[in-house]
Amino acid sequence: MIDHEVVRVFTGPRGEAGNPLGIVPDGGRVPKERARQQLAAELGFSETVFVDDAATGRVDIYTPSSRLPFAGHPLVGVAWFLRRQGREVSVLRPPAGEVPTREEDGTTWIRCRAEWATGRRTRRYGTVAEVEGLPAPPPGQGWLYAWAWEDEAAGRVRARGFPRRGDGIAEDEATGAAAVTLTAGLGRSLTVRQGAGSQILTRFHDAGTISLGGRVTPAGPRR
């Protein structure tokens, strides 16, 4: 049996919604990539992260069907989790590269390069109602991030995320990498309301990097 923790990442202002994340604190117990992929599929979360070295922040991320060099929701979640375990990790090290992390006023932040957030196509809709009326998933293939302005002047966005990769995840409740892609494309900081009520914060930086932040809530240990 493999012990794992579950947290909700990018919860709303009152602790609602958030995207569940599986965390395997002792990644060494599942050393093989094939076994990690199988466990991620069995757990069924949109992503599961394996902590390979808590002291240095080395982590490994899987969806139910593939391994990811970078993903925002797992990195924000595991940064929060390691701090709650007494690990003051200032940098996470997924395969994509070094990801600085910090915590400020109850929000956990990571800072990443925009080009790491690949494979997610964004599509703008005319109204929030159009986004909310989409089926899950919409027809078509490939990752779709559907969005509309709630308040363009204030940088507030309504979004929904559809992986459309055939692994049982019809809709992603909160998607950090897609929010990074949208932020890079628009060239401005955003507050994104995604899914049933999750909230994602981004900060656009001129140096080609983007900060991604949100609240995290524990859901408890499981086996």
- Looking at domain 116-211, its CATH architecture is Roll (3.10)
Q: How confident is the model at residue 206, as a pLDDT?
A: 86
Structural domain spans, the chain: 4-94, 116-211
Q: Which phi and psi (to 5°) does residue 95 adopt?
A: -60, -30
Q: What is the pTM of this model?
A: 0.96
Residues 207-223 pLDDT 10s: 889 999 999 999 867 76
Residues 30-45 pLDDT 10s: 999 999 999 999 999 9
Pick the CATH number of 4-94 from 3.90.580.10, 3.10.310.10, 3.30.420.130, 3.30.70.20: 3.10.310.10
